[in-house]
Chains A and B, each alone.
Chain A
Amino acid sequence: ETGVTQSPTHLIKTRGQQVTLRCSSQSGHNTVSWYQQALGQGPQFIFQYYREEENGRGNFPPRFSGLQFPNYSSELNVNALELDDSALYLCASSFLFSANYGYTFGSGTRLTVV
């Protein structure tokens, strides 16, 4: 059973640029959720994907967008990067309707915007 893999692990971008973060979900999981975690804070829900469609969104602007692929892997895209986008981005996979199980998290991508 494979876990959740995120890439890259670290990334430095310039303000105004665009970035794509990638996540491969755990085998058997069909749902991917993305979280942003600023330093010293708890993870903030960005959005969730199921069956290649967005299935709920947190309080993030449209420049945060995502994709889910047929193999359940996912991408998070952020356009027009701002300094405040600097954070740890976490991907979590789960099985839809799994009220009895938790998420499996990846190790995260540390994004620094300069």
Chain B
Amino acid sequence: SQQGEEDPQALSIQEGENATMNCSYKTSINNLQWYRQNSGRGLVHLILIRSNEREKHSGRLRVTLDTSKKSSSLLITASRAADTASYFCATGRPTSGTYKYIFGTGTRLKVLA
């Protein structure tokens, strides 16, 4: 079963615009991560935010986390055609002495040149 739900399911924007995608989850977490996937291949880790953090930046990426609302958002500023991909949130919870990550359903982003 999916822990997270991304919204919107698909997003199409012009190059240079900002892209915002949201993730909602159901249970308490220790951290939340965002991944990018190009053309149905492997996932690339973008950013991790811990449950005691509210905002984190990495280059053109900005992630926020609201644990009271069980939601997170990923903002990509000044988007480029190369940002076209699917984006997934993954929530991490400790289980049996390790961390397992459960992925959401993804947002398909298309950046038009």
A residues lining the B interface (CB < 8 Å): 4, 31, 33, 35, 37, 39, 41-45, 48, 50, 55-56, 59, 88, 90, 92, 94, 96-108, 110
Contact = CB atoms under 8 A, between A and B. Distances in A.
Interface of B: 1-2, 4, 30-31, 33, 35, 40-45, 48, 50, 88, 90, 92, 94-106
B103 to A, nearest CB: 4
B97 A103 contact: no
Contact of B88 (A42, A48, A96, A107): A42
A50 B99 CA distance: 11
Contacts of A108: 40-42
16 contacts: A39-B40, A41-B105, A42-B106, A43-B88, A45-B103, A48-B98, A56-B95, A90-B42, A97-B97, A99-B30, A99-B99, A100-B48, A102-B101, A103-B43, A104-B45, A105-B42
Given A45-B100, A94-B99, A107-B42, 4 more contacts: A55-B97, A55-B98, A96-B98, A100-B31
Contacts of A4: 42
A61 to B, nearest CB: 15
